[in-house]
Amino acid sequence: MTTATLDPRALRDAFGSFMTGVTVVTANDASGRPIGFTANSFASVSIDPPLLLVCLAKTSRNFATMTAAKGFGVNVLSEKQMTVSNTFAKPVEDRFAAVEWKNGPHGAPILAGVSAWFDCSTNEIVDAGDHAILIGRVEAFENGAMAGLGFARGSYITPGLSSKAVSAAAEGMPLIAAVVERDGAVLLISEADGRWRLPQMELRGGEPLAALQDYLTGATGLAVEVGFLYSVYDNKATGHQHIVYRAVAEPGETKAGRFVPIADLPLDAMDNSATADLLRRFAAESALGNFGVYVGDEKQGKVHPYARKA
């Protein structure tokens, strides 16, 4: 897409493919009342001097207060704080009534239970199109022990859950597979007996995502982007452990298998019932736009939702 044909919604979606952390940016207004909002446009800038930045839309209800404040705080949310993120993303009058907080050493509101926090003085405000870049000088900070909450393509990501799930299936030689989607269709590989399966490989050590990325690119001849963990389960009937990711393929002719519309998936002709159940869940979650990661075996387990942004 060229600069002459940029679609704002498509551009926003493309920006959203970059996985970020989730923060709550805070400050005090002229009367000393705390304000805060959820933001993922946060980045470190410099160690010497200690600088960071956040981006703020000029249309934000907090714009005047933030740009007039002597400083601000950045609270990096932990993976257990999706509710906090949603609270500060909603137009609630008193967001701080729902959380535990205190003023930091430099005065910015600091939330309890965060992965890390930074209390900053305002160093510089840079005009940037429909946003302003607030550059803060770190006056005080604290680094906690909890994993941070992630966010990409409109969904929260809990790294600890994904890590534990993959570790649970890491013993032996698991099969690693992907639900590769494109334009509402899923890539299926045909077998000699006429049944279908997901593209998969044996994981012989190494990092699962990198191995799967290389396999899918080589097998299909397409640019494939591997995304979130989708399912981790033991198939007691076959004796295999399975790690399944979601993935997205770019346009082009695939060298292996074919893309089948989600509505036409041959669920009765899959290689086993576990794959059929997985695809049945994928079809239902695709319709809702809200996905989770399944952990269990081929018959029973639990779906841990990746909660969507409010």
Whether 84 contacts 92, CB under 8 Å: no
Q: What is the spatial distance between Cα 241 and Cα 174, in angstroms, rounded to a whole number?
A: 5
Q: What is the spatial distance between Cα 257 and Cα 186, in angstroms, rounded to a whole number?
A: 10
Whether 208 contacts 163, CB under 8 Å: no
Domain CATH for 120? 2.30.110.10
Residues 219 and 253 occupy one common structural domain: yes
Work out how many domains the chain is built from and give that number.
Answer: 2
Residues 131 and 182 occupy one common structural domain: no
In a domain, 186, yes or no: yes
Q: What is the spatial distance between Cα 250 and Cα 25, in angstroms, rounded to a whole number?
A: 36
Please write the tens of the pLDDT for every residue from 124-156.
Answer: 999 988 999 999 999 999 988 677 787 765 666
Domain CATH for 259? 3.90.79.10
User: Which pLDDT score is estimated for 291?
Assistant: 80
User: Which pLDDT score is estimated for 308?
Assistant: 47
The three-class DSSP label of residue 4 is helix
Q: What is the spatial distance between Cα 305 and Cα 153, in angstroms, rounded to a whole number?
A: 15
In a domain, 310, yes or no: no
- Is the per-residue pLDDT at 298 higher than 90? no
Whether 60 contacts 67, CB under 8 Å: no
167: nearest Cα among 247, 244, 243, 78: 243
Residue 212's domain comprises 158-305
Please write the tens of the pLDDT for every residue from 250-293.
Answer: 899 999 999 999 999 999 999 999 999 999 999 998 888 778 78
Residues 81 and 171 occupy one common structural domain: no
Whether 89 contacts 24, CB under 8 Å: no
Please write the tens of the pLDDT for every residue from 110-130.
Answer: 999 999 999 999 999 999 889
Q: What is the spatial distance between Cα 132 and Cα 64, in angstroms, rounded to a whole number?
A: 11
**Is beta strand 51-57 parallel, antiparallel or unpaired with respect to 131-143?**
antiparallel
Edge-first strand order for the sheet with 23-28 is: 34-39, 23-28, 71-76, 116-128, 131-143, 51-57, 42-46
Q: Which of 152, 185, 211 is the last residue of a domain?
A: 152
Please write the tens of the pLDDT for every residue from 58-93.
Answer: 999 889 999 999 999 999 998 778 888 888 988 777
User: Which pLDDT score is estimated for 154?
Assistant: 62
76: nearest Cα among 159, 154, 162: 159
Whether 256 contacts 218, CB under 8 Å: no
Residues 190 and 252 occupy one common structural domain: yes
Residues 17 and 103 occupy one common structural domain: yes
> Mean pLDDT throughout 166-175?
58
Residues 179 and 142 occupy one common structural domain: no
Residues 185 and 220 occupy one common structural domain: yes
In a domain, 285, yes or no: yes
Residues 11 and 131 occupy one common structural domain: yes
In a domain, 113, yes or no: yes
Residues 131 and 167 occupy one common structural domain: no
Task: Let me know the angle formed at the C-alpha of 86 by 82 and 91, rounded to the nearest 5 degrees.
Answer: 170
